[in-house]
Structure 1
Amino acid sequence: MEEFDKNRSIIQTDQERIYPGTLKAILFDMDNTLFDFIAAKMEAFRKILSFIGREKGDIAEEPSELFRYFLRGTYGFEDYENIRDYMQDRNLFTAQGYRKCCEIYEQEKLENLELYPAVTNTLDKLKGLGLKLAIITDADKHHALARLTKVGLLNYFDLLVAADTTGTKKPDPTHFLFALEVLEITPEETLVVGDSIKRDIVPARKLGLKTAYASYGDWRPGEEADQCFDFRLNSFSDMLDIPGLL
């Protein structure tokens, strides 16, 4: 039977209750879990379209038009080829203009990163509890380090597992298994926090890890339907109410 504590916005199941002091580590997704990455990408798209408009005349499109190219799955979610296709489909492509758009994309999405409320204070408290903290991300190591440095979080984490660390991306379980081995912890001692049901929560649960769904950062409509998570976080600081941390 499921209990719902409305005051704490956390779902907890009786069969998978975490008892006090049992958690030793927390594995965090990065983008849209610690900071709003989609908002930063959208701002980058606005700047790209502004640049193209100055070069070729006002194309009068919303940033969502360019974002759709990144959502197709033809290339990676961060691949510059998405920008190339967008420009070519509109007869706007030049080699010089394309290079400049890629530069704008990288600069603006990094500069516009903003932490969710209370992230720093919450991480301070988690570190004070002696928990091991790690990042599990599909970004490559170079971009992950740049983002964590930009928002001032790099020194909070004991381990960074990036796409080029394991050669895989979630929902492949290799990221999680790698972290468990390096940190010398068991699934029962570990909590995974992420904004994607399919890429974070489902693979973690299959390995026996506890899961906290960062609903505040989930920009994918419809993924939550199964509610296949141990805890629901409506804000980052809700983590401090999860049993087993104290």
Structure 2
Amino acid sequence: MKYKHIFFDLDHTLWDFDRNSSESLEEIFHTLTLQNHGITSMEDFIQCFLKVNLSLWDMFDRGQIHHTYIRQNRFRLVFEDLGIQCPENHEEIGELYLNTLPDKKHLLEGALDLLNYAVATGYRMHIITNGFNEIQARKLAGSQIGHFFENVITFETASAKKPDPKIFEFALNAAQASPEECIMVGDNWIADIMGAKQIGIDTVYLNPAGLQFDEKPTYDIRRLEELLLIL
């Protein structure tokens, strides 16, 4: 084996964030009767949330905003984007979302087969995520994949977030590994790929849309099952 350690991102890489979010938002739409607040289409509500949330996390990865801003403002921004007056309880909607989302169980297609293959082959696996300790732990428990990973490195445990080299150095230290023994698998070009690359860790870019950048990852894949050909 060329590598001994695999570092995985969690959301959008193993854990199906969009599907789990959509399921959570559908429940919230009905529980809070959001159609009474002027949202005529549940589908528009979900798609708008996914767009706004993705933009906010991109700003977070670039160091432009803090986690707290996302938590407190994303539903306000969704209502604004939909052109609807924002209800006063938009932060309560955000809290309900955070209480609902982490217990969803859907993984990306091929994720479980990949993890089973990797552990059977002898790889040591770890998570590096910009999420919160409690929420990421609930996601791993709910989807029943927590036992695959020796370490779950979050921005809280490392006091740094991807793409900061400090979180990758923290992860290497936790795994007692050198960069050349490791490979990073993630869907986020800035946080996962450029972050790992800058300290000499090979990268697998999960890139279903086929995006192109000036620099190249070590490997570029469209689906998780393609990783089986690399490992």
**Contact (CA 8 Å) 1:37, 1:113: kept in 2 or not?**
no
Cα distance in structure 2, aligned partners of 1:85 and 1:75? 15
Deviation per CA, 1:191-233: give whole Å up to 9, x if none: 10001111111121111111111113x6xx85x3335111122
1:26 to 2:18 alignment: no
Cα distance in structure 1, aligned partners of 2:128 and 2:192? 9
Q: Which runs of 5+ in 2 are unaligned?
A: 60-64
1:184 to 2:164 alignment: no
Q: 1:59–1:150: structure 2 CA closer, same or farther, 3 Å change rule?
A: same
**Contact (CA 8 Å) 1:75, 1:82: kept in 2 or not?**
no
Q: 1:155–1:81: structure 2 CA closer, same or farther, 3 Å change rule?
A: same
1:238 to 2:226 alignment: yes
- Give the total of aligned pairs: 217
1:94 to 2:72 alignment: no
Relative to its length, the structure with more helix (as a share) is: 2
Alpha-carbon shift at residue 106 of structure 1 (Å): 2.2
Q: Answer with 1 or 2: which has the greater Rg.
A: 1
What does 1:40-189 correspond to in 2, within 5 Å? 40-50=20-30, 51-60=32-41, 62-63=44-45, 64-70=47-53, 71-72=55-56, 73=59, 76=67, 78-86=70-78, 90-95=84-89, 98-99=91-92, 101-189=93-181
Equivalent residue of 2:217, what SS?
coil
Alpha-carbon shift at residue 58 of structure 1 (Å): 4.4
Cα distance in structure 1, aligned partners of 2:135 and 2:175? 23
Which letter does structure 1 place at the counterpart of 2:102? L
Equivalent residue of 1:199, what SS?
helix
| Identity within the alignment, % | 23
Q: CA RMSD in A?
A: 2.7
Name the structure 2 match of 1:229: 217
Q: 1:106–1:233: structure 2 CA closer, same or farther, 3 Å change rule?
A: same
Q: 1:197–1:165: structure 2 CA closer, same or farther, 3 Å change rule?
A: same
Q: 1:150–1:78: structure 2 CA closer, same or farther, 3 Å change rule?
A: farther
Name the structure 2 match of 1:14: none
Name the structure 1 match of 2:199: 207
Q: Which runs of 5+ in 1 are unaligned?
A: 1-20
Alpha-carbon shift at residue 130 of structure 1 (Å): 2.0
Which structure exhibits the higher relative contact order, with contacts defined as CA atoms closer than 8 Å and separated by 6 or more residues? 1
